[in-house]
Copies of this chain bind each other. A is one copy, B any other.
Amino acid sequence: MQQSRVLDLSDPVVRVLEIIGVTAFAISGALLAVRKRFDLVGMAVLAMATALGGGVLRDLILGATPPAAFTNVVYLVPPLVVSLIVLWWHPVLERTTRVLMVFDAAGLGLFCVTGTVKALEFGLGPVQAVLLGVTTAVGGGVVRDLLAGEIPTVLRHGSELYVIPALLGATVVVLADLADGPATPTAVSAAVLAFVLRMLAMRYHWRAPVPRGTTSD
């Protein structure tokens, strides 16, 4: 592990982004549980799996065992609190799916940053760090969707650009690291960039190319 990283996991900004990301994904998991009519326990399990899935996958890949979620109790609080809140308040939230996708986008943006930071800290090369950042960012959503019996958002046709925003956010972190850029602005702007791109892609229905002969709708 190198010590001169622009960003590392002990940075307060990285820790705060990670907890916000955990919370955002927990909300997306709890909302999907509502739509699937799971009970409180199922909701807590899905919230926890969504919130912690990406980070656990990242830590297993890095060999950083036990993963942070199994050593630091703080990660367990957001999914549990979120489940209780969503259990009582969800009817207030109209159009569950739309709200779910906003929180999913927030989790995506935040985790692509923390995943990339941790990968660099563990000595992965630039391309690999981007790959692990994207894996961390999409991992929680994939776990959520598989457990709920849905095709993962990351794959679905018509799921407007999902991987590209995470890829760009992770790339910003890697480039700033190579260029010795400033830590906090880098982390925050990379997360915001990925989040905003994902939101814009959903708003304006940006699409990746589809195979020839397949209609785009």
Contacts and interface: CB of A to CB of B under 8 A. Distances in A.
A63 B66 contact: yes
B37 A214 contact: yes
10 contacts: A38-B156, A39-B157, A39-B207, A39-B210, A41-B161, A56-B61, A63-B66, A90-B211, A90-B212, A149-B150
Contacts of A149: 150-151
A36 B151 CA distance: 10
Nearest to A92: B212
B88 A212 contact: yes
Copies of this chain per assembly: 3
A13 interface: no
Interface stretch (A14-22, A67-75, A188-196): A67-75
A27 interface: no
A46 interface: yes
Contact of A209 (B67, B87, B91, B155): B87
A32 to B, nearest CB: 10
Interface in A155-195: 155-159, 161-164
Contacts of A156: 38, 42
A76 interface: yes
A82 B150 CA distance: 26
B34 A211 contact: yes
Nearest to A72: B128
A60 B64 CA distance: 10
A69 B91 CA distance: 44
A148 B155 contact: yes
A7 to B, nearest CB: 19
A97 interface: no
A9 interface: no
Interface string A117-151: 00000101101100110000010001000111111
A81 interface: no
